[in-house]
Structures are given as structure tokens and as C-alpha cells.
Amino acid sequence: MTDAWHRFIENVEVRRFAVLAVIVFALWMMRSMMNMILFTFILTYIVVNWVHLVRRWLPKLSPAVVVIITYALLILLLYFGITQYLPVLVRQIIKMVNSVLKFYSTNDATNFYQYVNHYVSTGTIMTQLRHGLTIAVSTITSVGIVAFTFLLSLILSFFYTLELPQMESFSRLFLESKFAWFFQDVAYFGKKFTNTFGVVLEAQFFIAICNTVITTICLFFMKMPQIFALALVVFVFSLVPVAGVIISTIPLSIVAYSVGGIRDVIYIIIMVIVIHAFEAYVLNPKFMSSQTDLPIFYTFIVLLIGEHFWGTWGLIVGVPIFTFLLDILGVKSIHKTNRKRPQSSGE
């Protein structure tokens, strides 16, 4: 039994496969906390790299000071987005609801009811109405849960980045423990996934910037109100590959309807179609596929499968997970030159 255990530890490939299976099983057991895990990971990754970048420019500046200033600015941006954009969105929704109610109060509504009842039974309409109300209530509830989860993730990532040197020194103790081989393999997979995720996140960040700039210019010529707030929303949604541009159509259309009616809504839809085509055929092949060396067809398939199994998170982490698996299986590795080039230029 002891010999079999030693042979298992010495067989690196089998051992790492077993460790990977344990990690997957642990994540599956914690699937109810997956939102908080992913939020914390993304926030921590962004802030840690931002701190390293700032310290290259200002090496004498304390990392704790950089972290505190960064999170203070982040909270101010969130506060600005919530206080400036949400009231505008709520007002536009109320205007749209009032316009619908006004339509139902006219004589045209009677003809509309007769036309609908001719093809659809009243029971079917009521069933669909109850189903729609259920979806609306669950959506409102989920928004509150996601906001609370994001707040917890913000706090966790703040304490992690604030004590980054202490975290690194304490984590090294696991690599010298009795089960050092297990934690070494966990660190191996962690570095692989972090490297992969960083490459994809960097590519998607540049795509989001390009989408935001183009959309903001179009909104400026359309004389939309609250340009900065709308640009902030477009940037956040653009961080979701492919689908983010389409999702951002909803708030943009609501605001456009209140400004210029159905005409501006058509303009917004045309703008989104053009930007989506530009992202799919130019930006994605230029940034995402070139950074990950994935054909654009594989990128779309992974996004579709990721969205099917993990919803919105599948659109964000689908490509990094797929690239991570390709790296682990030895099919395709991330080019290290892509990661080292910014370092050499900054030193």
C-alpha cells in the first residue's frame, strides 16, 4: 500500500489529473458560491496587476496606498454610475409603461383585444402573464443577490490585495507542508489558469474600449442625454464577449425611445448591428483569437456552450477555461512572449 502511494506521488501526470479532479469536485460542491468566487477572482486579478503597473512608474509608492486609492476610486465610480444612470433608466421605464397604458386606454385597444382573442384563448394569455410576472420578480430578486455578492467580493479582494505580501508569504507555507505535492499541483494549475485568464481578459478589455469609443461617438451625434453614464454601461456590458454588445441594446433603446421615439430606437439597433459585426469580424480575430491562437469558429462555439451551461458567466470564463484545458492537455499553450513583452518595455 505504501509503495502504491509513493508511485502515485512520483507519477506527476496521474497525480495532477487526480488533483485537477479534486479541484473540479470542490468547485462543483461550492457552485452556489460561484458568483462570489468569480467576482473576487476577477477583481483581485485586475487590482493586483494594476498595483504592479503603478509601482513600475512609482516604485517608492507603498502598495497599500495604491490599493486604498484604487478601491476608493472604484467605489466613487460605482456610486456615480448608480446615482446618475439608474434614475435615468427608471424614468425611461416609467415613460414606456405610461405609453403602453395610454395605448390600452384608447379605442384601438378594443380592436387589439378582439384580434388577440380571435387567435389566443384568455387562459393562455393569463398563463403567459403569470409566467412573465414570475420572471420579473425573480429578476429583481437576483439583481439584489448579485449586488450583495459583488459587495462581499469587493471586500474580500480589498483585504487580499491590501495584504498581498503577507498572503504570498503565508501561502508558501503550504508548499513546505506534509502534503506539499498536493499544494504544488494546485499552484501549478492556479498559475496556468491565471496566465490564460489574464491573456483573455486583456484582449476583452481592449475590445470593450473600442466598442465604448465607437458607441459613445454615435450616441454623441444622436444627441443622447447622460453620455458618460451610458458609455460606462456600454463598457461594462462590452466586457462580456460577443453578447455584451447585444445586451447593452436594451438600456440604450429605452433611453433612445424617450428622446426620439421609435426612429431613434431603429438607429440604435442599426448601430448595434454594425458594431457587433465589427467586433465579430475585426476585433475578435484581431485581439481575442490572436491572443489565444484560437480560430474565431472555436471562439463562438465555446461561447455558445459556456452560455448554455453557465449562463452569463459562461460568456466571460468560457474561453479562458477552454484555453486552460488546451494548455493542460498539451494541445496548445499560451505564448509566453505575449505576456513578457509589456514587462520588458516597462523596465
| Interval 128-149: pLDDT, tens | 445 544 544 554 556 667 778 8
Residues 35, 135: Cα–Cα separation, whole Å: 20
Is pLDDT at 94 greater than 50 in this prediction?
yes
Lowest-pLDDT range of 16-30, 48-62, 90-104, 149-163? 90-104
| pLDDT(36) > 60 | yes
Q: What average pLDDT does the segment 195-205 reach?
A: 76
Q: CB-side exposure of 28: number of CA atoms within 13 Å?
A: 7
Q: Tell me, what's the pLDDT at 202?
A: 74
Lookup: cell for 323: 484555453
Q: Determine contact, residues 238/269, Cβ cutoff 8 Å.
A: no
Assess whether pLDDT exceeds 80 at residue 12.
yes
Lowest mean pLDDT among 56-70, 164-178, 179-193, 214-228: 214-228
Tell me what percent of the residues of the chain surpass a pLDDT of 90: 5
Q: What is the residue-averaged pLDDT of the chain?
A: 75
Secondary structure of the chain as H, E, C letters: CHHHHHHHHHCHHHHHHHHHHHHHHHHHHCHHHHHHHHHHHHHHHHHHHHHHHHHHHCCCCCHHHHHHHHHHHHHHHHHHHHHHHHHHHHHHHHHHHHHHHHHHCCCHHHHHHHHHHHHCCHHHHHHHHHHHHHHHHHHHHHHHHHHHHHHHHHHHHHHHHHCHHHHHHHHHHHHHCCCHHHHHHHHHHHHHHHHHHHHHHHHHHHHHHHHHHHHHHHHHHCCCCCHHHHHHHHHHHHCCCCHHHHHCHHHHHHHHHHHHCHHHHHHHHHHHHHHHHHHHHHHHHHHHHHHHCCCHHHHHHHHHHHHHHHCHHHHHHHHHHHHHHHHHHCCCCCCHHHHHHHHHHHC
Q: Residue 331 CA to chain centroid, in angstroms? A: 26
Q: Does the model's pTM come out above 0.85? A: no
Is 248 a residue whose pLDDT tops 50?
yes
Whether 89 has a pLDDT exceeding 70, the answer reads no
Reading the block at residue 133, the C-alpha cell is 410576472
pLDDT tens digits along 207-241 = 788 888 888 888 888 877 667 667 777 777 777 66
276 or 139: which leads in pLDDT: 276
Distance, in Å, from the CA atom of 290 to the CA atom of 200, rounded to the nearest integer, reads: 10
8 Å CB contact between 323 and 334: yes
130 vs 159, more confident: 159
Query: Hey, what's the torsion of the CAs at 298, 35, 192, 295, to 10 degrees?
Result: 10
CA 296 – CA 307 distance, rounded (Å):
17
Q: Other CB atoms closer than 10 Å to residue 190's CB: what's the count? A: 13
Average confidence (pLDDT) over 78-93: 70
What mean pLDDT do residues 30-46 have? 85
> Could you tell me the pLDDT band of residue 77, with boundaries at 50, 70 and 90?
confident
